[in-house]
Amino acid sequence: MVQTLKMLDNLLNKLSSIQLLISNGFLIFMMLIISFDVIGRNFFNKPLTGTFEMTELSSALLVFFALAMTHRHKEHISIDFAVSKLSVKAKHILDGIIELVIFATVVIMANQVLANAMRIMERKTTTSDLGWPIYPFYYIATLGLAVFALVALASAIKYFALAVKKS
């Protein structure tokens, strides 16, 4: 059981790292297209077509792909002045419960994003300037949410294991 959890943790760490790398790629892409758009608009009077759409879609994917790594490194904003007074075991139990709530919430979100992707695919919705289909971006965002949910579930299991571990 412990070996399986370690393998899952390693897999999630690799997936999170890959997603973070892709997220950084989206950030660089956004910086470049915005720069080219400004240069084209100001110096050549010819803006880059679809800059707004590309920025909008890539910023969404940037966020969804960075969530798992942000959660993995506990970089979300947290306020723990009341929790700091609890015993170590109680902190682990509370952290495990919080991770389970995060897991459930993200699974519900992923389900809604996936359902929306299917509706958009059926309607053949595209971006207005470039005519790109939108549904692939929703599917990719669902993938980012799925990895985030699994990271939260693995964290919950770790916290509950720490809570029952004998000192």
Number of domains making up the chain:
1
Residues near 76 by Cβ (< 8 Å), separated by ≥ 6? 70
Q: Is the pLDDT of residue 167 over 70?
A: no
How much is the pTM?
Answer: 0.87
Average pLDDT (112-136) is 95
Task: Please tell me the number of Cα atoms within 13 Å of 28 on its side-chain side.
Answer: 6
Nearest CA among 6, 62, 9 for reference residue 31: 62
Pick the more confident residue, 5 or 143.
143
What percentage of the chain exceeds 70 in pLDDT? Answer: 99
Per the structure, the complete domain to which residue 154 belongs is given by: 2-164
Q: Is the pLDDT of residue 58 over 70?
A: yes
The pLDDT of residue 130 is 92
The pLDDT of residue 76 is 73
pLDDT band at 164 (very low <50, low <70, confident <90, very high): confident
Q: Is the pLDDT of residue 29 over 90?
A: yes
Q: Is the pLDDT of residue 40 over 80?
A: yes
Residues near 165 by Cβ (< 8 Å), separated by ≥ 6? none
Residues 92, 159: contact at Cβ < 8 Å? Answer: yes
The pLDDT of residue 166 is 72
Residues near 94 by Cβ (< 8 Å), separated by ≥ 6? 83, 86
pLDDT band at 1 (very low <50, low <70, confident <90, very high): low
